Homo-oligomer: A and B are copies of this chain.
Amino acid sequence: MNGAESLVRTLVAAGVTVCFTNPGTSEMHFVAALDRVEGMRCVLGLFEGVVTGAADGYWRMAQWPAATLLHLGPGLGNGLANLHNARKASSGIVNIVGEHATYHLQYDAPLTADIEGIARPVSHWVRTATEARKVAADGAEAIAVAATPPGHIATLVLPGDAAWGEGSGPAPLPPVPPRARVSEEAVRQAAALLRPGKGALLLLGGQAVWEEGLTWAGAIARHTGARLLAQMANARLQRGAGRVAVERVPFPVPQAVALLKDVQRVVLVAARPPVAFFAYPDRPSVLTPPGCTFHTLATPAEDALDALARLADAVGAQRRQAPLQPPWRPPLPTGPLTPEGAGAVLAHALPEQAIVVDESVTTGRGFFPLTAGAPPHDWLQNMGGSIGYGLPVAIGAAIACPQRKVLALVGDGSAMYTVQALWTMAREGLDVTVVIWANRTYQILKGEFANVGAGSPGVKARHMLDIDRPTLDWVAMAKAMGVPAARATDCETLLAQLRRGLAAPGPYLIEAVL
C-alpha cells in the first residue's frame, strides 16, 4: 500500500470522509487511492477558493474536519483567501497540498514554489511529508490538530514520491483533546462583574451563540440586568422562534460606538473585544468606551456552554428565565425590491432548520431583526472579511447537512470571486438556493470612500466602485454552470422564487435586482 492510499485510509478511519478537491499531476496517486478506498466522498471544485471555502462550511455544520486536495503552491494560493476566512472562523480543515517529488525540487520546474511559505500565514500547523512510510502518521497528526478545539488549519504538503512510495498503511488518530472546562475563578469573576447589571455586557461568540449557549446567556442577562450582544460576525448563530434573540455589534463604527456607549464591563464568552472592522482617520479602533474592562469567561477553545451553565448557577439564574423569541413575521411587503422588503420576504420564506449563509454585505444590514421570529434556523457569517466566502461555504454546509435547506445570500460583487461554486452545486445536486443581491456596485465602498475621509468619488473612482457596464446576467451565468435560475425585481416574485427554489431538490439561483 503506497503512501497516498495509507493517507486516504487514515483520513477515512478518523472520520474525515469528505475531500474537496482540485487536483493535478502531483495528486494523481491520492486520486487513484479513492478508487480503492471506500468511504471517502470526493467533491470537485473548478477553482481552489471553492474547495477551501467548502471545507470551512463543512466544519461549521459537522464540527469535524473535511480534507482539501490542492495542486502545489499556486493551487494553495488560490485557496488562501477562504482559508483566511476559515482560520478566523476557527474552522478545522486538513489541507493536503501536492508537491513535486523531493528529488525533483532541485531543478526548479515551473510549478516549484515555497509551499510552506505560502501555507504558513493561514495555517496553524504545516508539515512536508518527506517519507512515504510516515505520510499516514503525518496525516493523522494533521487531523488531530485540525479537530482540536476550537478548530485549526493543518496543512500537509505531500511530495509525489511520498505518495507513490511504499507506505505504512493507515495510522491511528492521536487523542483529540476535549474543550477545556473554565476555572471556578473565571466563573466567579464573571458573576461578580455581572451582579450589578447596569453597565455590564455579556458578549457572545463561538459556541455561545448556539441555541444552548444563548439560552443560558439569555437567562443570565434577564436575571442580572446585563446586556446581551453577539459578535459582529459569527461562524454559526442559532436563531429564530423559540430561541433567545440576540443583536450583533454593528459594522458602522458610529452605530457600534453609540450602541456600546454605556458599557463599563464586558464578559467575553468565546468572543473577542469589539473593534472596528477597518481603521478610519477620525474614528476609534476600539468600539467600547475608554476605561471599559474585559473579563474572559471562556476562550473560543474552552467549553463555553458549560461555562455559561455554571455562570447561571453562580448568579442564581434559571434556564427557564431565558426570554424566548415568539414566532413573528413582518407584514408581507409588495412592490419593487428594496433591502428592507427583501428581509421581510426572507422571514416569510425561511423553512424550519434552514442554514442561511450570509454574504449580503450592505443589502443584508437590516435582515437580522426582520427574520428574528422566523422558524428556527442557523445563520453563518464571514469571519475573515475576504469576500467570496458565501457560495463555497454553502456547498460545505449542504454536504454536511443533506437533510436541511441551505440558503446562500450573496452580493453580486462578492459572488463573482468564487462564481465557479455554482457548477459544484449543480454537479453534486446540492439543496442550495442562492440569492444574488444585484445592486451592480461594490455598494459598501461608496460609504467607505467617505468614511475614510476621501470625500465623494469622481468619475474615475466611481468606475472602480460600480460593477455595471456591462451588467452581469446572473440567470445566464447560473444556467451556464447547470443551475436553474430566475430573476426577481419585486417582492412578490422574490417570495415566489424563494419558495420554488427551497421546495425543489438541487440548486436554484435567484437574481434579486435591487
Contact = CB atoms under 8 A, between A and B. Distances in A.
A80 B111 CA distance: 13
Interface string A217-233: 00000000000000001
Copies, count: 2
A49 B419 CA distance: 13
Interface in A462-502: 463-465, 467, 469-477, 479-482
B417 A78 contact: yes
Contacts of A420: 416-417, 419
A464 B31 contact: yes
A73 B416 CA distance: 18
Given A42-B460, A479-B476, A419 B417 contact: no
Contacts of A84: 73-74, 77, 113
Contact of A81 (B75, B85, B464, B472): B75
A160 B477 contact: no
Contacts of A332: none
A73 to B, nearest CB: 7
A359 B294 CA distance: 56
A173 interface: no
A217 to B, nearest CB: 23
Interface residues on A, range: 35 or more
Contact of A31 (B29, B44, B77, B454): B454
A480 B471 CA distance: 8
A233 B279 CA distance: 44
Interface stretch (A116-124, A177-185, A305-313): A116-124
A453 B164 contact: yes
A291 interface: no
Given A80-B74, A480-B476, A463 B44 contact: yes
Contacts of A475: 480
Interface string A87-123: 0100000000000110110011111011001101110
A21 to B, nearest CB: 6
19 contacts: A23-B464, A28-B452, A28-B454, A31-B457, A31-B464, A32-B457, A35-B457, A44-B467, A74-B384, A77-B386, A78-B78, A84-B113, A104-B275, A110-B382, A111-B278, A164-B281, A417-B420, A476-B476, A476-B480
